[in-house]
Structure 1
Amino acid sequence: MPTTKVSDFSDLRDTFFSYVRDIKYATMITVDRGNRPRARVLLPVWEVVDGLPVGWLAAYKTPVKTAHLAGNPHTTYSYWNPRQNTVHVDALSAWAEDEAAKRHAWDLYTRGGPPGVGYDPVHYWRGGPEDPEYHVIRIEPWRIQLVRGSDLRSTLWQPTGKGVARDAVTDGPGPGVGERVA
């Protein structure tokens, strides 16, 4: 079955949020210095900023995650449910150190992003967003693929133009987190 390709996130936004809301937990994949993948299950929250998806991941700043993201910010977040619906988010991920970003992510977790996805982070970080153990990863997708399990229909989002944190033409390495492709 051919893949439908779109460049406007709004073309798959509702399905993306529906799948994320249904599945909730994602497998985050990073790469170590030896180019070996490492997976862990976490719960990112999502929003749309200037028409583009942005994810936030509340996490402990472990030496492994820190080393992997410092060596290679390219990550994949993969969602799956037993109906075989899947979401694959290829992204650039980096620690967001500023207090405003940490507070923003905290609030998004508390109210749900999308609604129905999130939790009260105080269960893990009792000191609130100022807790020294509370850290946040900002996720800037450059490619999202949705696959519907009932018929294996696939929709692939790859944005183009200004404000896109990725290499819009190839699946190869793109710019660093925060860099924009004109």
Structure 2
Amino acid sequence: MPTTKVDSFTDLQDMFFTYLRDIRYATMITVDRLGRPRARVLLPVWEVVDGRPVGWLAVYKTPVKTAHLAHSPHTTYSYWNPRQNTVHVDALSTWAEEEADRRHAWDLYLKGGPPGVGYDPVHYWRGGPDDPEYHVIRIDPWRIQLVRGSDLRSTMWQQDTALMPGAQSVPA
């Protein structure tokens, strides 16, 4: 079955958030300086800003994540459930160092982004959003593909990469 391409994220936003509420956890893939992938399971939260999806990921700033993102901010977040529904998010992931971004992500985890996806980050960072171990990665997708497992119907949105924050050359 061919992939349906949509021009606007809003055309697949409802299905994107439905799948995220169902699946919740994503596998984040980065690559090291030798091009070797590394995967870890995490829980990003999402919102829509100016018609585009933006993700936030509360993390510990480990040496591996730091080195990988310094080498290449290109990441993939993959969601899967046993019904074979999948979400694939290709993105630029960057450290969000501003206090306002850190607090915004904290609040979005508490509120749920989308509602039903999130948690109370104080369980991991007892000092709140000012905890020195609390760090945030901002996720700016440039392509999102949803696949429905019942019939393998695929829907894909791809942003004009020239419009992306900090965009350079993004492969198609």
TM-score calculated relative to the size of structure 1: 0.90
Partners of 1:142 and 1:167 within 8 A in 2 = no
TM-superposed CA distance for 1:168, in Å, is 9.1
| Alignment pair present for 1:141 and 2:141 | yes
| Matched position secondary structure for 2:113 | coil
| Matched position secondary structure for 1:108 | helix
Unaligned runs of 5+ in 2: none
Q: 2:41 maps to what in 1?
A: 41
Partners of 1:159 and 1:168 within 8 A in 2 = no
TM-superposed CA distance for 1:164, in Å, is 3.1
Letter in 2 for 1:18: T
CA displacement, residues 11-33 of structure 1 (integer Å, 9 cap, x when unaligned):
00000000001000000000001
TM-score calculated relative to the size of structure 2: 0.96
Letter in 1 for 2:154: S
CA displacement, residues 117-148 of structure 1 (integer Å, 9 cap, x when unaligned):
00000000000000000000000000000000
Task: Name the CA shift for 1:54/1:31 in 2 (closer, same or farther; >3 Å).
Answer: same
Letter in 1 for 2:93: S
TM-superposed CA distance for 1:7, in Å, is 1.8
Unaligned runs of 5+ in 1: 172-182
Distance in 1 between residues matched to 2:51 and 2:2, nearest whole Å: 26
Distance in 2 between residues matched to 1:8 and 1:57, nearest whole Å: 24
Task: Name the CA shift for 1:167/1:12 in 2 (closer, same or farther; >3 Å).
Answer: farther
Partners of 2:12 and 2:155 within 8 A in 1 = yes
Number of equivalent positions: 171
| Matched position secondary structure for 2:88 | strand
Q: 2:127 maps to what in 1?
A: 127
User: Counterparts in 2 of 1:1-182, with a 5 A limit?
Assistant: 1-160=1-160, 163-165=163-165, 170-171=171-172
Distance in 2 between residues matched to 1:167 and 1:86, nearest whole Å: 27
Distance in 1 between residues matched to 2:169 and 2:135, nearest whole Å: 29
TM-superposed CA distance for 1:159, in Å, is 2.1
Task: Name the CA shift for 1:17/1:122 in 2 (closer, same or farther; >3 Å).
Answer: same
CA RMSD of aligned residues (A): 1.5
TM-superposed CA distance for 1:163, in Å, is 3.3
Letter in 1 for 2:26: A
